[in-house]
Structure 1
């Protein structure tokens, strides 16, 4: 209807190296067409694909350990 107010925009917060946090409730359509739904007030969507609960983030991105040069190796 022409006089209906526009729906409120969803806010999405992107976190470097982490999930996309979306104000809920949300519905996510996965690649295979299945629908994942959450009624929470905010959800974290996995962007690294390491989550065991994909599409929801389970903080698996935090477990990635970067290895630098070994200390005291004489180089």
Structure 2
């Protein structure tokens, strides 16, 4: 399990947010954000993943 990644939950899911609103998903598997960076919070949008620079050449990506 990635400590910075989402929590996967079997759906359907209802989450009560801090302001009392309820977020619902009818999907069979739901990724719930734990990093608080998601633009679609409480659902994960993969914002926790490190980003590569767009101008990085393929040779530079393979040298890591």
Unmatched tracts of structure 1, length 5 or more = 1-13, 66-75
Q: Using structure 1 for the length normalisation, give the TM-score.
A: 0.63
Highest RCO, 1 vs 2 (Cα 8 Å, sep ≥ 6): 2
Higher Cα radius of gyration: 1
Tell me, which stretches of 5 or more residues in structure 2 are unaligned?
53-64
- CA-atom RMSD, angstroms? 1.6
Number of aligned residue pairs: give it. 52
Structure 1 moving runs of 4+ over 4 Å: none
Question: Structure 2 length normalisation: TM-score?
Answer: 0.74
